[in-house]
Amino acid sequence: MPLETYPPELPPIPPQPPIDPSDHATYMRLALDQAQESPPKPSNYRVGALIVDGNTGAILNRGYTLELEGNTHAEQCCLSKYASAHAVLEEQVGEMLPANTVLYTTMEPCNLRLSGNLPCVDRIIRTKGEDGKPRIRKVYIGVKEPEKFVGDNQGRKKLEENGIEVVHVTGFEEDILRVATAGHEK
């Protein structure tokens, strides 16, 4: 129905209630929804990610594997789009992020990129404010990265060595891996 003929007597749809910042399952489900937007390919995992203000629960940005041009990962897309929206380079995105930003990602962030792109772990670590303090202080993951492409991913270890807490949100492993590996040979 064209907008101009829409019955004016219907009330507008109210805004969605905010998500409680401690409702990690809801954020992980939303990240999984993002992963499903990624095109299935045999050479990539379909991953979804969100950056969230840890104090208010506001979703700052969303991303998924191959959302942007090139061989882009979900975390990379989140940060790149947020930087673009704030007219800064991705390297400066930390200057725009709230002090207590958290990242939700369906899969452990990569520590090695076969494409030569900067690994997502390094992108997360460099999100520092003008005061030099990290802006992403906590990363919630749904699953550890399978060893198919790069072997044993040391992403979690590197994040923790840099003072970033990594928390496994349980209960989504089967769904995440099903979505992540769509397009892979069985």
Whole-angstrom Cα Rg for the chain: 17
Q: How far apart are alpha carbons 45 and 143 in whole angstroms?
A: 12
104 in Cβ contact with 70 (< 8 Å)? no
* Of 175, 181, 146, residue with least CA distance to 28: 175
The one catalytic residue among 9, 67, 69, 75: 75
* Catalytic annotation present for 67: no
Alpha carbon distances (Å) from 61 to 49, 77, 159? 8, 9, 21
* Of 26, 67, 20, 23, residue with least CA distance to 48: 67
Q: Report the catalytic residues.
A: 75
